[in-house]
Structure 1
C-alpha cells in the first residue's frame, strides 16, 4: 500500500529504572517471557507490513535492539534500526528521521503496543478516507481493587491527567476534538466552525490513544519542520492537527468541496486578480474577490469578501463580508464578519470583532479590537 512503518522503540527509559538497565533497554523488557517489541513486529508481519524503521533512543540501546532483531527476524522482516538522541520525545524522534521518509503515507506505532488489531486495518481505513491522520483509539481498561495496600478507596486511574476527552462525529469515524488530562480545565472550548460543519459531536471520556497513527507524509513533514518545539505526537502534534483540520486537513467530507490540483479550495464564483496566489491548505469562499498581487497562505477566507491589491494573509481566518484595503498585512489573526480594514493596516496575532473598522495605516500586535459595549 506504499506505506513506510516507523516503530518508536524508546531507549533506556529513566521512568522504568531499575527494570531497564544498560543491558536491557525498554524495547527488550519481557512481557509474558517475550521482549515487548516482538508483539508489534509480529503484528506488522501478519499485516504484510515488512519494511520497517525501528527508532531507538541512544547508540548503545540501538545496538542491543538491532542485534536482537537481526537474530530473531532474519529473513522475515526488512528492518533499519535508527539511533536518535535521548529525551527528544516521539515527535522529536520522527523529526530526526524525517529525511528517510519517502512513501505517500507513514504508519507510526509505539514499540510497546500489545494489541490484536491488525495495523493493516488502520492503514486501510486511512487510505479509504484519504485522511491526513488516522489514530487508533480503544476502550480504557477498567481497573479493579488493589490486591495489596490501600489507596483510601480512590481509584488512581480516575485522577486528573489520567484520561482523555475525545470528540467524535455521529459516524464515529472523524476525530474532532482531543485533550489529554493535563490540558483539561473546567471549561471545554470547541471551535464553532467544527460544530457548524458536523452538526453534532459526541464527547467521550472512556477512550485512550493506542499510540498507533497513520499520517500523510507531506503534512507530517511540514508540521515537524514548522513546529520545531513539538516534542510529543500525542500531546502536541495530534491535537494541533485536530484543531486546525478545517485549514490543513482533507475536509471535503465536511465542507462538501473538493480540493483543487493545488491542494486548496477556491469556490468557482470567487475572483482572483493578476499575480494573486492562494497557497495549499487554503479556502476561499463564495463570491469573494481579490485584487492584484495578493498572497494567501494557510488561511480561510469567507464568503463575499472584498480584498484589495498587494494584500498578504498568512495563518489567518477571515470571516464573511470583510473588506480589506490595499497594502494590508494580516498574520496569525482572526477577523470577524463585516469588518473593514482600511489601507495599509498591519495585524499580527490579533482578533478583530464583528463590524469593527480599523483606520488606515494602523499597526497592531497581539491585540483584541472590538466595538465598545454601549
Structure 2
C-alpha cells in the first residue's frame, strides 16, 4: 500500500491503523471544538479550530506547520458536534488554500515528487476531555506521537526542534513551555476577574549545577497547573541532591505541544480516570518519574561532574523521563483568551511568521472615494468599503459591508458583518453576521455572532451577546 492510499484509511473502523512514514512521529491535533472560558463568547457557534486569524482558521496554521515539518499525514481528533465542519475544512478548504497550493507546487518543483501530506479526521463523543480523546484515537495509531491542541499557533521550526529533542533523548514526555511577557501577572489578574482562565504554571526544572541548560532543555521534576490557584508547591527532596541548582518558575505556561513515547501512550490507555492531558496526565507522568527513584550516567565522583538533562535516566523498572523545551525566539503562542487572540492576529498580519506573509494580500474588494486602508490590514473577499472610511491595523472578513465615514482601528471583524455609516470601532472583535447601525461607537467591545446593535450607541468595554445586544 502506498503512502497516499494508507492515509485514506477510515480510522473509525476498528481494523484501521495509521503508521508513521517519513517522520518518526505521528501527528495528532486535538480539535474538540470547545473553547476555554476566555473565548466562549466567540466560539459558541463555531469550533475553536475554525476561529479566523488573518482570515484563515486556526487549524490552517497548525496543518501547514506540520506539512512543512515533513509529516506525511496528520490525524485531527474532533467531537461529534463539530465533526462535519472540521472534516469539511480539512478535506476540502485547506487543500484549496492558495498558500498551501503554492507551497506544494514549490515542493514538487524542488524534489520532483508530489507532496503526499494528507489529513484524516477521527470522531469521539461530545464532552470528552483531551486525555480521553487521545486515549480513544491511540488505538488507531502506531509509534510515538506528537500531540498539539488547536489553540496553539506555531511554526515548522518549533516542531523541528521538538522532534530533534525526541531523537536525542529517551524521554517519555517532552513538553514545551512558552515564556510569559513581563506584564503577565497583571494580565492574569484581569483575566481572572473576567472569568478567563489562569495561564501560568508552576514548574520545577532540574538544570545542571553550573546554572545552564543544554540547548534550552531541562528535566521537569514537578509541575502545578494554574499556579495562582495554589499557595504551596511540592518538590521531592531527593531532587535537591540530583539537581543542586533546581529552579522553580512561575513565569511560563504549557504550550499544549507534547511528544509522547509509545510507553507514555500505554500508560495513558491504562489510566482511564485521567481526563485532561495538561491538568491530569502531564502531572501524573511527572510524579511517576520519582516513584521508583532515578539513575544516571557518568562519573559522579569526578571533580568537574555536571548533571545534564540528557544524562538522567529513570530506573529500568519504570522508564519515565519528562523533559522540558522552552521556546526561544521561535514564533509560538497559545490562544486561551480574547487578548491573546487579538495579539496573535496582529502579529500574523504584521508578518511575524515569514512564510505566511501572503496573508497581507488583499482580495478583490470595492472601496469608495477618499477611503484609506492601511498596509497593516488584511481584507477578505467581496468586501465593500464606503466613501471617506479609514481602516487601520485590522482584519476584515469576507462578505462584509462597511458604510461611509467609518473608522475601524485595531479590530478583528469576521465574515458577513454590516457596519453602517458614521460608526467608530476600535480595539475589539466583531463576530459573524453582526449588524451595527448608523453612528454607533464601540471601544474595546467583544460582540458575539448575530448581535444587532442599534443607532447612536456609545459602548465601552462591553461583551455583547444575542440576548444583551442593543437593538
* Fold-level similarity (TM above 0.5): yes
State the distance in 2 between where 1:251 and 1:81 align: 41
Q: 2:277 aligns with which of 218, 223, 233?
A: 233
State the distance in 1 between where 2:64 and 2:85 align: 19
C-alpha deviation, 1:212, in angstroms: 0.2
Report if aligned partners of 1:132, 1:250 keep a CA contact under 8 Å in 2.
no
Aligned partner of 2:190 in structure 1 is 156
Report if aligned partners of 2:202, 2:227 keep a CA contact under 8 Å in 1.
no
Distance 1:162 1:109, change over 3 A: closer
C-alpha deviation, 1:253, in angstroms: 5.5
Aligned partner of 1:98 in structure 2 is 138
C-alpha deviation, 1:165, in angstroms: 0.9
Q: 1:108 aligns with which of 147, 150, 158?
A: 147
C-alpha deviation, 1:44, in angstroms: 0.9
Distance 1:154 1:39, change over 3 A: closer
Number of residue-to-residue matches in the alignment: 254
Report if aligned partners of 2:149, 2:257 keep a CA contact under 8 Å in 1.
yes
C-alpha deviation, 1:197, in angstroms: 2.2
State the distance in 2 between where 1:144 and 1:192 align: 30
Distance 1:250 1:46, change over 3 A: farther
Report if aligned partners of 1:54, 1:80 keep a CA contact under 8 Å in 2.
yes
Q: Which runs of 5+ in 1 are unaligned?
A: 146-150, 257-262, 267-279, 284-374
TM-score of the superposed pair, with normalisation by structure 1: 0.60
State the distance in 2 between where 1:125 and 1:282 align: 17
Three-state SS of the structure 2 residue aligned to 1:204 is: strand
Aligned partner of 1:224 in structure 2 is 268
C-alpha deviation, 1:27, in angstroms: 1.2
Q: With CA pairs under 8 Å and 6+ residues apart, which has the higher RCO, 1 or 2?
A: 2
C-alpha deviation, 1:90, in angstroms: 0.9
Three-state SS of the structure 2 residue aligned to 1:186 is: coil
TM-score of the superposed pair, with normalisation by structure 2: 0.48
State the distance in 2 between where 1:196 and 1:215 align: 27
Does residue 80 of structure 1 match 2:120?
yes
State the distance in 2 between where 1:17 and 1:70 align: 26
What is the CA RMSD across the aligned residues, in angstroms? 3.3
Does residue 10 of structure 1 match 2:50?
no
Matches within 5 A, 1:49-198: 49-58=71-80, 60-71=81-92, 72-73=94-95, 77-103=117-143, 105-116=144-155, 117-143=157-183, 155-156=189-190, 161-170=198-207, 171=213, 172-181=217-226, 184-198=229-243
Report if aligned partners of 1:25, 1:61 keep a CA contact under 8 Å in 2.
yes
State the distance in 1 between where 2:29 and 2:294 align: 25
Three-state SS of the structure 2 residue aligned to 1:212 is: strand
Q: Which runs of 5+ in 2 are unaligned?
A: 1-22, 97-114, 208-212, 301-312, 321-471
